[in-house]
Amino acid sequence: MTLPDVNKQWTTAQDGLDKLQFTEGKVPEPKDGEVLVKVLAVSLNYRDTEGEPTTQDTEPLVPCSDMCGIVVDSKSPKLKTGTRVMSIFNQGHLTGQITEADMATGLGLPLPGVLTEYRCFPAEALVTVPDYMKDEEAACLPIASVTAWMCINGMRPLGQPADGAKKKETVLLQGTGGVSVAGLQIAHAAGLKAIITSSSDEKLERAKKDLGADFGINYQTHWEWQEPVLEETKGRGVDIIFETGGARTLRKSFECVSFGGLINCVGYLSGKEDEDAPGAKQLNINVLALRRNVTLRGILNGPKDRFEEMVRFYEQHKIRPVVSRVFKMDEAGDAFTFLYSGAHFGKVVVKVADK
């Protein structure tokens, strides 16, 4: 295959979404053990929009972590040219508990990311795409789906995911962003009961009609959404919560989690800091956790072996990740703004190239 002279890519100096640059670099050459990947599609994650303007001089970095691409040159016996692959977010996290060293291998910060036409990867830091999945769909898996998979299955032994469990568990998804929608798809396919919240009745209808959500609550019109959750579960509460809201939702989650339930601390879409002024009466998280004997678990994506376990499940159930909108490569700046606006349902994707 003839490679182009230039490698078009987006870069950011972490100084705000409006300052992304569409630039040109060199097409890199793979070293031993690496493969050169032609990037086909990239999905965006909330973290990619977070680059808070900094006053420090920061070297421009290619953003984003989640891509589907095709191997065009291989210096590894593990991956052949022509194989479609997905990136894993933390390139060094191949199995078991994540470590600080693994977290230093995150794509799109601190490592250069994937919003580029060509990139080299160590062969072991890639996962093969199942044949039935389109490029744009596969690009959605690395962060959103793997995180959702870990929320539902991360406490179970590898190889024994929730669909084999005797008890029909209930899952609560907050909002209809990338992680929640992937969680809904996995929960539904695994036969779990799924309750979802959203600020939009239209999105709730779609979650029920298209993706099999059992119950939906509009958190704008029912701000005390923990009450309908408890009613819907006949007072028992929810077994597994995707806590993507954070500061303004965590206390509600504690109110509607089941005894012995699992709150997966995933994100902070409603804020990172408690709103209450100092001195206000507020139960400490520690107390909230122990009073219902809840497992409060921090989630940091998942390892490659769990990613592969998930891909087998997706393949078995032919799950197609939900792509809200696809942008062209030269429109990636608009893709970030669209994601940040929250207008999406599922994932936002940048189409980088055709095969």
Ligand X SMILES: NC(=O)c1ccc[n+]([C@@H]2O[C@H](COP(=O)([O-])OP(=O)(O)OC[C@H]3O[C@@H](n4cnc5c(N)ncnc54)[C@H](OP(=O)(O)O)[C@@H]3O)[C@@H](O)[C@H]2O)c1
Q: Which residue is nearest to ligand X (CB)?
A: 177
**Residue 53, preceding bond cis, omega within 30 degrees?**
no
With contact defined as beta carbons under 8 Å apart, do 43 and 144 qualify?
Answer: yes
Asked if 177 interacts with ligand X (CB under 6 A), we say: yes
Which lies closer to ligand X via its Cβ, residue 130 or residue 177? 177
Which lies closer to ligand X via its Cβ, residue 158 or residue 300? 300
Interface residue with ligand X, options 58, 99, 199, 295 (CB under 6 A): 199
Q: Point out which span in 41-49, 63-71, 118-126, 280-288 binds ligand X (CB under 6 A).
A: 41-49
DSSP assignment of 9-66: EEEB-SS-GGG-EEEEEPPP---TTEEEEEEEEEE--GGGG-----SS----B----E
Q: Point out which span in 19-27, 28-36, 40-48, 105-113 binds ligand X (CB under 6 A).
A: 40-48
Q: In sequence order, which residues have a C-beta less than 8 Å from that of residue 333 and are 6 or more positions away?
A: 10, 17, 18, 20, 22
Using DSSP, state whether 224 is helix, strand or coil. Answer: coil
Q: Point out which span in 20-28, 134-142, 260-268, 275-283 binds ligand X (CB under 6 A).
A: 260-268
Count of alpha carbons within 13 angstroms of residue 123, beta-carbon side: 18
Determine the Cα–Cα distance for residues 352 and 69; give it in Å rounded to an integer: 9
Q: From the CB of residue 309, how many other CB atoms can be counted at a distance below 10 Å?
A: 18
Using DSSP, state whether 213 is helix, strand or coil. Answer: coil
Q: Point out which span in 106-114, 115-123, 140-148, 251-259 binds ligand X (CB under 6 A).
A: 140-148
Asked if 270 interacts with ligand X (CB under 6 A), we say: yes
Helices (H), the chain: 100-103, 135-138, 146-153, 178-189, 201-211, 226-232, 250-256, 285-291, 304-317, 332-341
Asked if 252 interacts with ligand X (CB under 6 A), we say: no
Q: Point out which span in 98-106, 130-138, 185-193, 295-303 binds ligand X (CB under 6 A).
A: 295-303
Interface residue with ligand X, options 200, 226, 233, 253 (CB under 6 A): 200
Which lies closer to ligand X via its Cβ, residue 24 or residue 210? 210
Asked if 109 interacts with ligand X (CB under 6 A), we say: no
- Min CB(228)–ligand X separation in Å: 14
- Strands 66-74 and 34-43, sheet pairing: antiparallel
Q: Count residues contacting ligand X (CB under 6 A)? A: 33
Of residues 247, 338, 221, the one with CA closest to residue 347: 338
Asked if 301 interacts with ligand X (CB under 6 A), we say: yes
Asked if 203 interacts with ligand X (CB under 6 A), we say: yes
Determine the Cα–Cα distance for residues 333 and 339; give it in Å rounded to an integer: 10
Asked if 145 interacts with ligand X (CB under 6 A), we say: no
Asked if 37 interacts with ligand X (CB under 6 A), we say: no
Interface residue with ligand X, options 22, 98, 111, 268 (CB under 6 A): 268
Asked if 9 interacts with ligand X (CB under 6 A), we say: no
Asked if 45 interacts with ligand X (CB under 6 A), we say: yes
Asked if 176 interacts with ligand X (CB under 6 A), we say: yes
Determine the Cα–Cα distance for residues 308 and 302; give it in Å rounded to an integer: 10
Q: Point out which span in 30-38, 98-106, 195-203, 280-288 binds ligand X (CB under 6 A).
A: 195-203
Structure tokens at 211: 């993706």
Helices (H), 173-293: 178-189, 201-211, 226-232, 250-256, 285-291
- Min CB(32)–ligand X separation in Å: 31
With contact defined as beta carbons under 8 Å apart, do 61 and 14 qualify?
Answer: yes
Interface residue with ligand X, options 115, 299, 311, 350 (CB under 6 A): 299
Name the site residues for ligand X (rule: CB under 6 A): 45-47, 143-144, 147, 174-180, 197-200, 203, 219, 244-245, 248-249, 266-270, 299-301, 339, 342
